[in-house]
Amino acid sequence: DTEVTQTPKHLVMGMTNKKSLKCEQHMGHRAMYWYKQKAKKPPELMFVYSYEKLSINESVPSRFSPECPNSSLLNLHLHALQPEDSALYLCASSQIGLAGARSGANVLTFGAGSRLTVL
């Protein structure tokens, strides 16, 4: 299995809803990432988990709450979102964290994304 799988593909939610995005990989990767991508913009890093521990939080508002239950799974819990949070949310993984210097181990593999619309 060489893929990162994200569910759901599309999500529409109201500002008072609570929902979650899920990400799964079975490549044995030990680093997982959440990125946010607005239309015609590059991916923006939100969170990094390395060996199931949160290693980077890019000052993301608390209405986004990440969770890494085990080395294969990454969740993003959503609560009280704003319309401007509508975007494509991309999960990615890499063999080890990007800080590691081992050649080939830093390659990010992205999932297909979850397109979120907040009404």
Q: Which among 37, 47, 36 has a CA at the least distance from the CA of 97? A: 47
Q: Which residues contact 73 (CB under 8 A, 6 or more apart)?
A: 22, 23, 24
* Sole binder of other proteins in the list 5, 7, 55, 117 (CB under 8 A): 55
Residue 106, judged by CB atoms within 10 A of its CB (0-12, 13-18, 19+), counts as middle
Site string for other proteins, 81-100 (x = CB under 8 A): ---------x------xxx-
What is the spatial distance between Cα 30 and Cα 46, in angstroms, rounded to a whole number?
Answer: 17
Candidate ranges 11-19, 66-74, 75-83, 105-113; the one touching other proteins (CB under 8 A): 105-113
CB nearer to other proteins: pick between 45 and 80: 45
Binding site for other proteins (CB under 8 A): 31, 40-45, 48, 50, 55-56, 58, 90, 97-99, 101, 103, 106-113
